[in-house]
A and B are shown apart, each in its own frame.
Chain A
C-alpha cells in the first residue's frame, strides 16, 4: 500500500505524464470527461464521466487499413502502428469491469489486434467511489465500487490518496513513482471501504431481479409481451449504446479519400434501423426487436456465452442520458420482475 498527500497529487500526475501518456477525468463544460493530461489539469471527483472509458481500447472511430486503387488493381496498406504506453487514472469500478467484458469479446479467438495493442500498452489506475449517484447500481452486478479492480486501485481517504498495486503492471507503475509515494497503512483504507460500502447499500436502485435472466429462459424472455410496451417510446437513437461502457457493436466502412480508400471501423448501435438491414431483408425490422436485442444481449446472450457474466456494469449512464428515460433498470424490473 502506498500513499500520497492529495496536495501532492499534481506532482504525481506530472511524474506519470513525464513517462507515459496520462489520461484522467477532468471537469468540463458539461460534466466530466477523460482527457489527456496537461499541466494544471485536476482530477475530477465526479463519480461518472459522460463518455465511458471504453474509448481507450475501443475508440469510436479507428482506421483499420488503407487501399490504393489503380484501374483494376488494389493494394492494401497496413496502417497499424504500435500504440504508445499510457495510463488511465481514476477509472471507477464499473468502467474497470467493462474492460473485462470487452476483453471477452475482442480478445477471444481470433484476437482483435487493434484492441489487444491498446490493452497491452495501458495501465489502469482505478479509484474507489465515494459519492455515487442515485442512478448507480454497479453493486447489483456484484461490482465493489469501494474496492475496484484494475492494475492499481486507489482510494481517497481524508486528504490522502492510497494506492494498491493489483497486477504486475501496477506494481511497475507504482515502483516507478517511488520517490513521490510514501508507504501507507492498509487500516484507513479498510475503514474507508466499509464506509463506502455502507453508502452503496443506501442507493435506491436495489431489488434487482437480474438473477431471473438465466440462459435457459432465453426464449421465455425473448417472447415476453412487455417488450412492446417498453420499446414503445424508444426513439431509436444510439445514446444508450454510445455512452454504455460495454456496448461493443461496430461497423466497418470505407471512406474514399482523394487518392484511395480508408477502411475504418466505428461504433454502431443495435438500436439503429439499418443495423441488420440487408439489400432485401431486415430480420429486426421494428424498434421492438432492436430494443429487445440490446437488453437480451446484455442480460441473456452475453452471460450465456461468458460464464454467466452480465453485459451490464450498472454505471447508470443510460439512466442519466436516455432522451426518454428508458433504461436497463426499467427493463430488468419489468421483464425479470414477473418471475419473482
Chain B
C-alpha cells in the first residue's frame, strides 16, 4: 500500500540542548542516523510521542544542515512537557515537511533582510537566518533584532554571540525587557527597539514572536515607512493533520498548514484575523 501522509516515521532524539529555563533544542535523526527529510526554511514537522500526542513544530535547523534536524521547543502543553522530560535516546515519530516556508530562493533573493524575533519566536527564524548565512552571497545585509524577557530567556544565545555576531554583513541587535546586572546590552521591548534602530525601508522584514509583539512591531515598521508587502511573518495554530484536511487551521480560505505558515502582511490583511 502506498505511503500514507498521516502515518509518521520513527526518529530518535540524539541530543538535547537546554537553551533557557523553558526552551530546549532537540536534535532528531532517523534510527539509522540520517536526517529524516529535506525541507525549506520556515517549514514545520509533526512530532509525536504515541500516547502523549502529536504537535507541529517549526524546524529550527537550516536545510543546509545535512546531518540532522533540530527543533527548539518551549514547554507549554502536553507534548512539550513530555519532551522536556525525556533524555537522549528517546524515540519519537516525525512527519513532514509541512507548509510553504519562506521564499528564500525567490522574494528574499538579493534583498537586505531584517529579522525581528521575540522569545521563542526565534525558532522558526533561526532556520532562515542560518540558510542566509550559508548562502551569504545571495542576500544583502542582514539585521537581526532579537529580544526576550531576560538574558536567560534568549534562545540560541551561544550561537548568536559566538557565530552570528562575528560575521560580516550581519548585525545583531539584542535586547531584554528588564534591567539585569550582568547585562550590558540594550534594555527595552522589541517594538520600541526596532523604532529606535531606524532601519531604512529597502529591507524585507520577517517578524516572529508573541502576538502582542507582532502587533506593535508591525505598527512600528509601518511608522518607519515599511509597506505591508515587505513584511513577512509565520503563524501558529492548532493542527492535527498538517495537510489541509482536518479543517481547523484555516484563516478564511487559506490553511496555515498548507498555504502558510508564512504570510506577508498584505495577504493577512485580506484574511479574517482569527489567529
Query: Which residues on A are within 8 Å of B, measured CB to CB?
Result: 64-65, 67, 69, 72-76, 78, 80, 82, 105-106, 108, 110-114, 117, 215, 218-219, 222, 248-252, 254, 256, 260-261, 263, 265, 268, 270, 275-281, 283-284, 289, 293, 296-297, 300-302, 304-305
Contact = CB atoms under 8 A, between A and B. Distances in A.
B244 A74 contact: no
B110 interface: no
A251 B245 contact: no
Interface stretch (B34-42, B48-56, B130-138, B171-179): B48-56
B160 to A, nearest CB: 26
Contact of A254 (B4, B50, B250, B252): B50
A249 B247 contact: yes
Contacts of B248: 249, 268, 270, 275-276
B85 to A, nearest CB: 12
Interface of A is mostly: mixed
B80 to A, nearest CB: 8
Given A219-B272, A248-B247, A280-B76, A80 B4 contact: yes
Contacts of A106: 245
Interface residues of B, number: 48
A112 B245 contact: yes
A268 B240 CA distance: 11
A76 B6 CA distance: 12
B196 interface: no
B246 A278 contact: no
B91 A64 contact: no
A273 B88 CA distance: 36
Contacts of A76: 7-10, 93
Given A263-B50, A284-B274, A65 B243 contact: no
Contacts of A279: 76-78, 80
A114 B241 CA distance: 13
Interface string B74-88: 001110100000110
B76 A110 contact: no
A276 to B, nearest CB: 5
Given A219-B270, A252-B240, A254-B52, A64 B246 contact: no
Contact of A113 (B2, B54, B244): B2
Interface string B55-66: 000000000000
Closest 6 CB pairs of A and B: A249-B247, A279-B77, A67-B50, A261-B50, A74-B91, A110-B5
Contacts of B91: 72-74
Interface of B: 1-10, 49-54, 76-78, 80, 86-87, 89-93, 211, 236-238, 240-241, 243-250, 252-253, 270-272, 274-275
B235 to A, nearest CB: 10
Contact of A251 (B8, B9, B240): B240
A110 B247 contact: no
Contacts of B244: 105, 108
B241 A289 contact: no
Contacts of A281: 211
22 contacts: A64-B4, A67-B50, A67-B51, A67-B93, A76-B93, A110-B243, A111-B2, A112-B245, A113-B5, A222-B272, A249-B246, A252-B54, A252-B241, A254-B53, A276-B248, A277-B238, A278-B238, A293-B250, A296-B252, A301-B250, A301-B253, A304-B252
Q: Which of A67, A261, A304 has the most CB of B within 10 A?
A: A67
A250 B92 contact: no
Contacts of A72: 86-87, 89-91
B52 A300 contact: no
Given A75-B10, A219-B272, A251-B240, 18 more contacts: A67-B50, A74-B91, A80-B1, A105-B244, A110-B5, A111-B5, A112-B5, A113-B1, A218-B252, A218-B253, A219-B271, A222-B252, A252-B246, A254-B54, A256-B51, A268-B246, A268-B247, A281-B211
A301 B254 CA distance: 8
Contact of B245 (A75, A248, A261, A296): A248
Contacts, number: 136
A27 B183 CA distance: 76
B237 A283 contact: yes
Contacts of B52: 254
Contacts of B86: 72
A280 B238 CA distance: 11
B51 A261 contact: yes
B90 A250 contact: no
Nearest to B51: A261
Given A72-B90, A73-B91, A76-B8, A250 B247 contact: yes
Contacts of B54: 252, 254
Contacts of B7: 64-65, 76, 78
A297 to B, nearest CB: 7
B159 to A, nearest CB: 26
A104 B5 CA distance: 16
Contacts of A80: 1, 4
Nearest to A112: B245
B240 to A, nearest CB: 5
A69 B2 contact: no
B57 to A, nearest CB: 13
Q: Which of B54, B80, B238, B275 has the most CB of A within 10 A?
A: B238
Contact of A305 (B8, B9, B247, B253): B253
Nearest to A110: B5
Contacts of A260: 50
Contacts of A219: 252, 270-272
A213 to B, nearest CB: 12
